[in-house]
């Protein structure tokens, strides 16, 4: 397929309404940095919706779960900036009832064989980690991540797999942590956990891909240097979230890897991809799936 030059066109950009995404994309979207002549048109959706759009190659640039990206490396390249990965950032499996927690502790993974588990999407990295840690967990119920706590409280499911800001709210609702899947990953694979990254469609010409990568890094660096500048944009898309939770979310998911993956970040992604291929969860990946850095 021949590449398309987007130098004179708008770039469609998919990302979620979560504070970490709106924080890093604010400067890029609102003229606070040099975008090198590029204009970005945002498509703000739930991460699993973005994963599905990516499968259909609907967006030029998009946030993507690393689990979903492992299936799509022949269509997209990973940008060096914008990723969400790190330590202590993994999804949590939670429940409403102490007896469910006790059953898990006493019967190991057998307790999950027939119970309903709400997940934030089949292509999310959270679901990949759940499959890795508890392969017996088969009865999964995909739903919006923001609906999982209420599904538990209303006894619609026995367990819920939570991501994003729900890490900060589940306890105040009386819900109980069963397992931290981030800790599971760190203890078994000794690396940061890759959650989501920003990818660019391979149909864009290479010059434009590099330009987008530079502009995105500039946007992340501006956000770090001017943390209050993005407040209105972040607040606009986090209206039901307290300001404290909003900033906890940003502090947790935006870090050095968001500026640049670096060697450590790249190794973590290769570890996840190699593990997924070995377990036949995902197909073989394109070896050039990360955009090379320019000197």
Choose among 131, 123, 269: nearest CA to 189.
Answer: 269
- For position 96, which CATH number holds? 3.40.190.10
The pTM score is: 0.90
The pLDDT assigned to 94 comes to: 93
Q: Would the pLDDT of 112 be above 70? A: no
pLDDT band at 7 (very low <50, low <70, confident <90, very high): very low
| Mean pLDDT estimate for the chain | 90
CB of 82 closer than 8 Å to CB of 212 = no
Respond yes or no: is residue 164 known to be catalytic.
Answer: yes
Please give the C-alpha separations between residue 164 and each of 82, 91, 101, 168, 276, in angstroms, as whole numbers: 16, 8, 22, 8, 23
Residues 199 and 77 in one domain: yes
Q: Is 92 strand, coil or helix?
A: strand
Query: Any idea what the Cα angle at residue 236 is, between residues 93 and 82, rounded to 5°?
Result: 60
Number of domains forming the structure of the chain:
2
Are 214 and 36 contacting, i.e. CB atoms less than 8 angstroms apart? yes
Select the more confidently predicted residue: 158 or 259.
Answer: 259
* Tokens (6 digits) for 272: 């996840």
Q: Which residues pair with 200 in a beta bridge?
A: 61, 77
In this model, does residue 164 exceed pLDDT 70?
A: yes
Q: Is 3 exposed, middle or buried (0-12, 13-18, 19+ CB in 10 A)?
A: middle
Q: Which two tokens stand for residue 271?
A: 């570890």
Residue 71 is predicted with a pLDDT of 96
Nearest CA to 28 out of 81, 68, 67, 69 is that of 81
Single out the catalytic residue among 30, 67, 114, 164.
164
63 in the same domain as 101: no
pLDDT on residue 37? 93
Regarding whether 159 and 76 lie in a shared domain, the answer is no
Handedness of CA 76, 81, 83, 85 (dihedral sign): positive
Q: Quote the domain boundaries for residue 111.
A: 92-189
* 274 in any annotated domain: yes
From 189, 206, 225, give the residue that closes a domain.
Answer: 189
CB 44 within 8 A of CB 237: yes
Secondary structure of residue 242 in the 3-state scheme: coil
What are the pLDDT digits (tens) for 28-83? 999 999 999 999 999 999 999 999 999 999 999 999 999 999 999 999 999 999 99
pLDDT tens-digit profile of 128-155?
999 998 888 888 999 988 899 999 999 9
Least confident of 30-44, 63-77, 232-246, 255-269: 232-246
* pLDDT at 1 (0 to 100): 43
Of 70-84, 85-99, 246-260, the one with minimum mean pLDDT is 85-99
């Amino acid at each position: 397929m021949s590449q398309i030059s987007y130098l004179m066109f708008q770039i469609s950009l998919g990302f979620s309404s979560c504070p970490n995404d709106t924080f890093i994309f604010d400067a890029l979207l609102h003229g606070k940095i040099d975008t090198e002549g590029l204009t970005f048109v945002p498509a703000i959706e739930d991460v699993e919706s973005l994963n599905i759009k990516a499968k259909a190659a609907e967006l030029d640039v998009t946030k993507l779960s690393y689990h979903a990206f492992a299936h799509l490396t022949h269509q997209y390249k990973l940008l060096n900036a914008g990723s969400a990965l790190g330590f202590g950032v993994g999804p949590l499996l939670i429940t409403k009832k102490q007896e469910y927690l006790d059953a898990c502790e006493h019967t190991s993974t057998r307790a999950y064989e027939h119970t309903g588990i709400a997940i934030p999407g089949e292509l999310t990295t959270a679901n990949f980690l759940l499959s890795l840690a508890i392969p017996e967990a088969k009865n999964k119920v995909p739903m919006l991540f923001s609906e999982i706590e209420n599904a538990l409280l209303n006894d619609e499911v026995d367990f819920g797999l939570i991501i994003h800001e729900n890490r900060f709210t589940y306890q105040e609702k009386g819900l109980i942590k069963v397992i931290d899947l981030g800790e599971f990953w760190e203890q078994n694979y000794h690396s940061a956990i890759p959650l989501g990254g920003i990818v660019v469609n391979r149909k864009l010409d290479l010059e434009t891909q590099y330009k987008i990568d530079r502009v995105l890094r500039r946007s992340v660096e501006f956000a770090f240097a001017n943390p209050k500048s993005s407040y209105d944009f972040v607040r606009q898309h986090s209206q039901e979230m307290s300001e404290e939770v909003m900033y906890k979310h940003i502090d947790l998911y935006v870090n050095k890897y968001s500026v640049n993956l670096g060697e450590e970040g790249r190794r973590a992604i290769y570890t996840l991809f190699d593990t997924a291929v070995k377990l036949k969860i995902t197909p073989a990946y394109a070896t050039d799936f990360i955009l090379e850095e320019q000197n």
